[in-house]
Amino acid sequence: MNLLPCSIIFTFKKRSWFSKLVWYFSKIDTTLAEKRKVSHLALYIGDNMIAESSFGGVAIRNIKKFNTGKYDVYIGRCLLPHECDKIVSYCNESAGLIDYSYLQLFAIMFKKIFRLPNIGDVDKEGMMCVEFILNAFIAGGVNLFKSPAEVTPLDLFTSEHIFVSRRM
Protein backbone atom coordinates (compact mmCIF):
# COMPACT_ATOMS: atom_id res chain seq x y z
CA MET A 1 0.00 0.00 0.00
CA ASN A 2 1.54 3.30 -1.11
CA LEU A 3 -0.31 6.01 0.84
CA LEU A 4 0.72 9.62 1.21
CA PRO A 5 0.30 11.53 4.48
CA CYS A 6 -3.04 13.35 4.58
CA SER A 7 -4.74 10.72 2.42
CA ILE A 8 -8.33 10.28 3.54
CA ILE A 9 -9.35 6.68 4.21
CA PHE A 10 -13.05 6.06 3.54
CA THR A 11 -14.39 2.79 4.97
CA PHE A 12 -17.49 0.68 5.31
CA LYS A 13 -17.49 -2.33 7.65
CA LYS A 14 -19.45 -4.94 5.73
CA ARG A 15 -21.03 -6.86 8.62
CA SER A 16 -21.63 -3.94 10.97
CA TRP A 17 -25.19 -2.82 11.62
CA PHE A 18 -23.75 0.53 12.78
CA SER A 19 -21.91 1.05 9.47
CA LYS A 20 -25.10 0.23 7.59
CA LEU A 21 -27.08 2.66 9.74
CA VAL A 22 -24.61 5.53 9.20
CA TRP A 23 -24.53 4.89 5.45
CA TYR A 24 -28.32 4.70 5.25
CA PHE A 25 -28.81 8.04 7.00
CA SER A 26 -25.97 9.60 4.98
CA LYS A 27 -27.82 8.98 1.72
CA ILE A 28 -31.23 10.29 2.86
CA ASP A 29 -32.22 13.62 1.33
CA THR A 30 -29.57 13.51 -1.34
CA THR A 31 -29.71 13.18 -5.11
CA LEU A 32 -26.43 11.31 -5.25
CA ALA A 33 -26.22 8.34 -7.55
CA GLU A 34 -23.25 7.06 -5.54
CA LYS A 35 -23.48 3.30 -5.05
CA ARG A 36 -20.30 2.78 -3.03
CA LYS A 37 -20.92 2.55 0.68
CA VAL A 38 -18.89 4.64 3.13
CA SER A 39 -19.62 5.16 6.80
CA HIS A 40 -16.32 6.07 8.47
CA LEU A 41 -13.22 8.16 7.83
CA ALA A 42 -9.66 8.12 9.00
CA LEU A 43 -6.64 10.16 7.98
CA TYR A 44 -3.32 8.58 7.04
CA ILE A 45 -0.57 10.38 8.95
CA GLY A 46 2.44 8.31 7.83
CA ASP A 47 4.42 5.27 9.00
CA ASN A 48 1.37 2.98 8.63
CA MET A 49 -0.56 5.05 11.19
CA ILE A 50 -3.99 6.66 10.96
CA ALA A 51 -5.82 9.24 13.04
CA GLU A 52 -9.53 8.73 13.57
CA SER A 53 -12.42 9.59 15.83
CA SER A 54 -14.33 6.46 16.69
CA PHE A 55 -16.14 5.04 19.72
CA GLY A 56 -13.16 5.64 22.03
CA GLY A 57 -12.62 9.20 20.80
CA VAL A 58 -9.73 10.53 18.72
CA ALA A 59 -6.84 8.07 18.57
CA ILE A 60 -3.77 7.18 16.53
CA ARG A 61 -3.87 3.55 15.35
CA ASN A 62 -2.14 1.21 12.94
CA ILE A 63 -3.76 1.07 9.51
CA LYS A 64 -3.65 -2.75 9.50
CA LYS A 65 -7.19 -2.92 10.93
CA PHE A 66 -8.48 -1.94 7.48
CA ASN A 67 -6.54 -4.74 5.74
CA THR A 68 -8.55 -7.59 7.28
CA GLY A 69 -11.13 -8.00 4.52
CA LYS A 70 -13.89 -6.84 6.87
CA TYR A 71 -13.96 -3.37 5.30
CA ASP A 72 -14.54 -1.79 1.93
CA VAL A 73 -11.79 0.84 1.80
CA TYR A 74 -11.25 3.77 -0.57
CA ILE A 75 -8.43 6.30 -0.64
CA GLY A 76 -9.07 9.99 -1.26
CA ARG A 77 -6.92 13.09 -1.64
CA CYS A 78 -7.92 16.71 -1.11
CA LEU A 79 -7.53 18.65 -4.36
CA LEU A 80 -7.23 22.03 -2.66
CA PRO A 81 -3.85 23.35 -1.46
CA HIS A 82 -3.23 22.42 2.16
CA GLU A 83 -0.41 22.18 4.69
CA CYS A 84 -0.08 18.49 5.46
CA ASP A 85 2.38 19.01 8.33
CA LYS A 86 -0.18 21.14 10.18
CA ILE A 87 -2.90 18.56 9.54
CA VAL A 88 -0.76 15.75 10.95
CA SER A 89 0.21 17.90 13.95
CA TYR A 90 -3.47 18.60 14.66
CA CYS A 91 -4.18 14.86 14.58
CA ASN A 92 -1.31 13.99 16.91
CA GLU A 93 -2.21 16.80 19.34
CA SER A 94 -5.91 15.76 19.40
CA ALA A 95 -5.33 12.09 20.20
CA GLY A 96 -6.77 11.19 23.58
CA LEU A 97 -8.23 14.67 24.11
CA ILE A 98 -11.43 14.60 22.02
CA ASP A 99 -14.34 12.23 22.67
CA TYR A 100 -16.55 10.71 19.99
CA SER A 101 -19.77 12.69 19.49
CA TYR A 102 -22.71 10.31 19.65
CA LEU A 103 -24.99 13.31 20.20
CA GLN A 104 -23.92 14.92 16.91
CA LEU A 105 -24.40 11.63 15.09
CA PHE A 106 -27.98 11.36 16.32
CA ALA A 107 -28.58 15.05 15.54
CA ILE A 108 -27.55 14.45 11.90
CA MET A 109 -29.87 11.44 11.70
CA PHE A 110 -32.68 13.60 13.09
CA LYS A 111 -31.82 16.33 10.55
CA LYS A 112 -31.94 13.85 7.67
CA ILE A 113 -35.20 12.21 8.74
CA PHE A 114 -37.05 15.50 9.20
CA ARG A 115 -35.21 17.34 6.39
CA LEU A 116 -34.12 20.18 8.63
CA PRO A 117 -32.01 22.95 7.04
CA ASN A 118 -29.23 22.88 9.63
CA ILE A 119 -28.58 21.83 13.19
CA GLY A 120 -25.20 23.27 14.02
CA ASP A 121 -22.73 21.67 16.37
CA VAL A 122 -24.77 20.23 19.23
CA ASP A 123 -21.73 18.73 20.99
CA LYS A 124 -18.82 21.14 21.38
CA GLU A 125 -16.74 18.62 23.36
CA GLY A 126 -16.77 15.66 20.97
CA MET A 127 -16.40 15.02 17.25
CA MET A 128 -17.61 12.44 14.79
CA CYS A 129 -15.06 10.97 12.38
CA VAL A 130 -15.85 13.31 9.48
CA GLU A 131 -15.97 16.36 11.75
CA PHE A 132 -12.51 15.48 13.09
CA ILE A 133 -11.05 15.07 9.58
CA LEU A 134 -12.57 18.36 8.41
CA ASN A 135 -11.21 20.19 11.47
CA ALA A 136 -7.78 18.71 10.75
CA PHE A 137 -7.96 20.17 7.24
CA ILE A 138 -9.03 23.53 8.68
CA ALA A 139 -5.85 23.40 10.79
CA GLY A 140 -4.01 22.79 7.52
CA GLY A 141 -5.49 25.89 5.91
CA VAL A 142 -8.46 24.57 3.95
CA ASN A 143 -12.14 24.63 4.92
CA LEU A 144 -13.94 22.02 2.82
CA PHE A 145 -17.45 22.59 4.26
CA LYS A 146 -19.18 25.52 5.92
CA SER A 147 -20.31 23.48 8.94
CA PRO A 148 -18.08 20.42 9.61
CA ALA A 149 -20.41 19.18 12.36
CA GLU A 150 -23.21 18.60 9.83
CA VAL A 151 -21.26 16.65 7.20
CA THR A 152 -21.60 12.89 6.65
CA PRO A 153 -18.87 10.56 5.36
CA LEU A 154 -20.78 10.27 2.08
CA ASP A 155 -20.87 14.07 1.73
CA LEU A 156 -17.07 14.22 1.90
CA PHE A 157 -16.65 11.14 -0.32
CA THR A 158 -18.66 12.82 -3.09
CA SER A 159 -17.22 16.33 -2.62
CA GLU A 160 -15.82 18.02 -5.71
CA HIS A 161 -12.74 18.84 -3.64
CA ILE A 162 -11.87 15.20 -2.97
CA PHE A 163 -10.42 12.82 -5.55
CA VAL A 164 -11.10 9.20 -4.66
CA SER A 165 -8.39 7.43 -6.57
CA ARG A 166 -8.68 3.77 -5.79
CA ARG A 167 -9.90 1.01 -3.61
CA MET A 168 -7.41 -0.30 -1.08
The CATH number of the domain where 159 resides is what?
Answer: 3.90.1720.10
Residue 3 lies in a domain: no
The per-residue pLDDT for 118 is 82
The per-residue pLDDT for 30 is 65
Percentage of residues in the chain having pLDDT higher than 90:
68
Structural domain including 107 reads 8-167
Residue 32 or residue 129, greater confidence: 129
The per-residue pLDDT for range 41-96, each reduced to its tens digit, is: 999 999 999 999 999 999 999 999 999 999 999 999 999 999 999 999 999 999 99
Residue 1 lies in a domain: no
Residue 90 lies in a domain: yes
The total number of structural domains in the chain stands at: 1
Left, alpha or beta for 47 (phi > 0: left; psi -120 to 50: alpha)?
A: left
* 56 phi/psi in degrees, rounded to 5: -90, 5
Residue 117 or residue 129, greater confidence: 129
Amino acid at 78: C
Whether 37 and 11 have beta carbons less than 8 Å apart is answered as no
Residue 78 lies in a domain: yes
How many angstroms separate the CA atoms of 7 and 25, rounded?
Answer: 25
